[in-house]
A and B are shown apart, each in its own frame.
Chain A
Amino acid sequence: DAGITQSPRHKVTETGTPVTLRCHQTENHRYMYWYRQDPGHGLRLIHYSYGVKDTDKGEVSDGYSVSRSKTEDFLLTLESATSSQTSVYFCAIMGGGTDTQYFGPGTRLTVL
């Protein structure tokens, strides 16, 4: 347990609505990541952050935005959710002596 929580853990929403997922860490790690997990694809990086207000895109960033106004919180926003964004979303931090990534418990999002 690397002190990572995600909220909500489950969410069902409708196409076209905005959705924000929250990742919270308690250990002041600089790097934070958002991934999505889909069958047949493993985990794919959406966005990452390397400090407060410092973010960059990952492999599948279209349709997503992120914000990091505090070290401990990294928010992922779907401005207008689509059914293709139905997925399980994982947050991760990078820590430890070997800069290993540790994952949160995930958020299951269903877009109807």
Chain B
Amino acid sequence: GEDVEQSLFLSVREGDSSVINCTYTDSSSTYLYWYKQEPGAGLQLLTYIFSNMDMKQDQRLTVLLNKKDKHLSLRIADTQTGDSAIYFCAERDQTGANNLFFGTGTRLTVIP
């Protein structure tokens, strides 16, 4: 199966920008996703990017995609304490089932 990698931990100060990185292996992936998981909760879809794009912006979130290096990043501007959570990147496979392959998740801690 696909191999999606993320660093495990990131700490930032409130008001700073956070950048969460992800590398993936399937160069034919059409969609890549970012999900957020707060403690004790399910996964909440944050944003996604289609493979023919290299950037997508949605309010405080910016997604950058470098297809050549198979690198995806999520930038959160003006990080708030409410952004503390685990962030997962995922790539969608190309079979009919559209299964997702997840990274291990990055735990973001925002320091007041």
Contacts and interface: CB of A to CB of B under 8 A. Distances in A.
A40 B98 contact: no
Interface in B63-112: 88, 90, 96-100, 102-105
Contact of B97 (A43, A48, A100, A103): A48
A104 B43 CA distance: 8
Contacts, number: 52
Most A CB contacts (10 A, CB to CB) among B42, B88, B104 go to: B42
A42 B45 contact: no
Nearest to B6: A42
A37 B86 CA distance: 12
A58 B1 CA distance: 10
Interface residues of A, number: 24
A42 B99 contact: no
Interface string B31-67: 1010100000111110010100000000000000000
A50 interface: yes
Interface in A91-112: 94, 98-106
Most A CB contacts (10 A, CB to CB) among B41, B43, B44, B45 go to: B43
Contacts of B48: 98, 100
A102 B45 contact: yes
Interface of A: 31, 33, 40-45, 48, 50, 56, 58-59, 90, 94, 98-106
